[in-house]
Structure 1
């Protein structure tokens, strides 16, 4: 199962200047809970914005830079290579960004774990449009903003619809 994990605003915005647009500790906790123990696939810029390998996960980074190396991660040259390697480790694979990686994998994914943030912010990276003919929301849990989470947001699970 390939699952895309993304936090996005109301205009599908996900980032600006290689950074997330919001700080939502509940979302970070949710992300950790669903991805821990599994391989995660991300692009080089996403990895650089995180700054270090995420613990208790195999960190697979897709990069076209041939001379780039970081301790504690696996660097591959393509999404196909990343998925092939991840499937050898676990049947549950998580795609965690960024925009280019999401565009390359949305048609390959079986499930989307979306944190829908109730905000419209300036961004330079966006998540691809989610086609309702392909994706069906199967669950949603919403949270009000509070002293630690500065926006209202909902955790949504979307499953790819079965072929008819």
Structure 2
């Protein structure tokens, strides 16, 4: 079975993800859903995103992408969180694909952009308000992505997209 590579993000109507340190939005239902869908699956994220979370997330393998692996402190022995480090998004995705047939890409903006050719799905929390911030999600082109589900909530929607056509194969 082919690996599903899913970008998961909360995004403002103007594409903003945050300011490089924090997200502009926080909804308890969104965090609970994020935990539920990513639990048990590997996640790929940049070092700044990992630092902003402030801890290793239990119950999943997090692969942190950084040019300087020595700056990342791995989880302690006996932790339910597993941490790995990769020096490129491509390397991180290849490692993650060797662990599970579903891989989540969890940001930030540059990691989403670099992972774009391999993404098969987008799992978005769309907030219909503009936000301040310099970190953005890539534009979702309807020629490339088809909306396949939308679940309206109070103040945001959970939206799923599938790639039209084929994503680049993971090596």
TM-score with structure 1 setting the length: 0.92
Calculate the aligned-residue CA RMSD, in Å. 1.0
Distance in 1 (CA, whole Å) between partners of 2:28 and 2:87 is 32
Distance in 1 (CA, whole Å) between partners of 2:151 and 2:114 is 28
Shift of 1:22: 1.1
Aligned residue among 119, 136, 143 for 1:109: 119
Q: What SS does structure 1 have at the residue aligned with 2:36?
A: helix
Distance in 1 (CA, whole Å) between partners of 2:122 and 2:47 is 21
**Alignment of structure 1 residues 46-125 onto 2, 5 Å:** 46-72=49-75, 73-125=83-135
Q: Is the 8 A contact 2:69 2:86 kept in 1?
A: no
Q: What SS does structure 1 have at the residue aligned with 2:63?
A: strand
Distance in 2 (CA, whole Å) between partners of 1:48 and 1:90 is 24
Q: Write out the 4+ residue segments of structure 1 that deviate beyond 6 Å after TM superposition.
A: none
Distance in 1 (CA, whole Å) between partners of 2:117 and 2:27 is 28
| Cα displacement string for residues 99-148 of structure 1 (whole angstroms, at most 9, x for unaligned residues) | 0001111221000001001211111100011110010000000111xxxx
1:127 aligns to 2:137 (yes or no): yes
**Alignment of structure 1 residues 141-160 onto 2, 5 Å:** 141-144=151-154, 152-160=155-163
Q: Is the 8 A contact 2:7 2:122 kept in 1?
A: yes
Aligned residues: 156
Distance in 1 (CA, whole Å) between partners of 2:44 and 2:25 is 22
Shift of 1:66: 4.1
Unaligned runs of at least 5 residues, structure 1: 145-151
Shift of 1:69: 2.6
Shift of 1:17: 4.1
Unaligned runs of at least 5 residues, structure 2: 76-82, 167-171
Distance in 1 (CA, whole Å) between partners of 2:11 and 2:133 is 10
Please name the residue that 1:148 is paired with.
none
